Structure formats: structure tokens, C-alpha cells
Chains A and B, each alone.
Chain A
Amino acid sequence: AQSVTQPDIHITVSEGASLELRCNYSYGATPYLFWYVQSPGQGLQLLLKYFSGDTLVQGIKGFEAEFKRSQSSFNLRKPSVHWSDAAEYFCAAGGAAGNKLTFGGGTRVLVKP
């Protein structure tokens, strides 16, 4: 069965510190991979996506993610977080462009001043 796991439910980070959010997937083949961010009471905004090619993907708001086939991972990173990065982050996987997405449970990020 297809699944996406985000091992960390909550992460607290100081403003200006680096951030890494973990995502592991289980799929029959290499899936299409996405990271979305959700602010309280809002919809999901796409941060970045991986379809193929370069395994280091750049996204919006200074985020990047690295696809590692050997580890079935697609971790999200940001070198220096801002208070506005406080939100919930979801990793998602799809079998092909246009297919349904399977989401992880989300990681809630709190940013300390």
C-alpha cells in the first residue's frame, strides 16, 4: 500500500536557525513528490515538487528538498527560518502527474523569537 510518513508531529525552532522536516514514502515506483504548507484556517500552498531529474529541488520562500531514492526520503530544508514560517507542513506523493495524492500526517512548526 502507498504511504507517506512524517515522523515528527511537532518541531520547535528558533528564528534564524535551520529547519529540516523529514518525509519518507512507500510506493511501488518512484512517485511524484510534493511539499505543501498550511497556515491556520487556510488552504494548502505548494512549496515545491519533484517529478524527475535533479534530486535537489528549489522551492518558494527559500525552501529546498532533496530526493534520496536509497532512503525513500524527500526531506524539506530551510537554512534560516523566519517567524512567518510557523505553519503546518505536509509531504505528499502521487503515482503520476494528475493522480491522487497520498499525504503524510503533517509536521507543525513553531518558531521561537
Chain B
Amino acid sequence: NAGVMQNPRHLVRRRGQEARLRCSPMKGHSHVYWYRQLPEEGLKFMVYLQKENIIDESGMPKERFSAEFPKEGPSILRIQQVVRGDSAAYFCASSVDTQYFGPGTRLTVL
């Protein structure tokens, strides 16, 4: 049983570009969570999704960030018009009752 998959593992964008981060949950898991880890900090919750529904987006910045988990395919975290402060590691987790984490996507904004 494959674990949580994330791609790309590393992503470099210039200021103003869009970043798309993908997450495929573990087989049988219908809950997906996104977290952000800034340098030298712990993980901060961003959004919790189930298939085709956003359950909790209380940690999402109000602008430029969006997330989806379609009926088919991976969950996507989209960051529009990236700024240098968006540089971070973005982790996805999936769960039934316990969250298992993917390897993360490290976003660098030049």
C-alpha cells in the first residue's frame, strides 16, 4: 500500500507566477489535509478536504490560495501570484482517523 504521494518534491517559481502542488492520499483515505512549514517552524494547518468538499479552511490565507479535492484525481493546492513569503515546505496528509504525511513539496520563490 503506497503512502501519501506528493509532487513535485521541489518547485521553483518567480514572483507573480502560479504554483500547483499535488497530493494523492493513501488508498482508502478520503480525508486530505494541507499544512505549511516555514523555515525553523512547526507545521501550521491550512485546509481540510474530503472528496469534492472543503470541510475546514480556517488556516488558509484569504487571498491567492485555494485548494480542491475532486472526485477523480489528486488534491491540488494552488497559490496564485506567489511572493517570497510563500517559500516553505507544504505537506499533505491523509487519514481515516490518524493522519499520515507525504514527503512534502518544497517551494522556493525567487
Query: Known: A43-B101, A43-B102. Is A106-B42 also a contact (CB below 8 A)?
Result: yes
The reply to whether B104 and A43 contact each other, CB–CB distance below 8 Å, is yes
- In the complex the two chains form, what is the Cα distance from A101 to B44 in whole Å? 8
The reply to whether B101 and A98 contact each other, CB–CB distance below 8 Å, is no
Instruction: Return chain B residues, CB-CB under 8 Å to A46.
Output: 98-101
The reply to whether A43 and B91 contact each other, CB–CB distance below 8 Å, is yes
Closest-by-CB residue of A relative to B95 is A98
Interface string of A46-66 (1 = CB under 8 A from B): 100101000000000000000
Smallest beta-carbon distance A1→chain B, Å: 12
- The total of Cβ contacts below 8 Å across the A-B interface reads 58
The reply to whether A100 and B103 contact each other, CB–CB distance below 8 Å, is no
- In the complex the two chains form, what is the Cα distance from A94 to B97 in whole Å? 10
Closest-by-CB residue of B relative to A43 is B103
The reply to whether A102 and B104 contact each other, CB–CB distance below 8 Å, is no
Identify B98's interface contact among A41, A42, A49, CB under 8 A: A49
Smallest beta-carbon distance A15→chain B, Å: 25
The reply to whether A97 and B33 contact each other, CB–CB distance below 8 Å, is no
A44 CB within 8 Å of chain B: yes
Instruction: Return chain B residues, CB-CB under 8 Å to A98.
Output: 31, 95-97
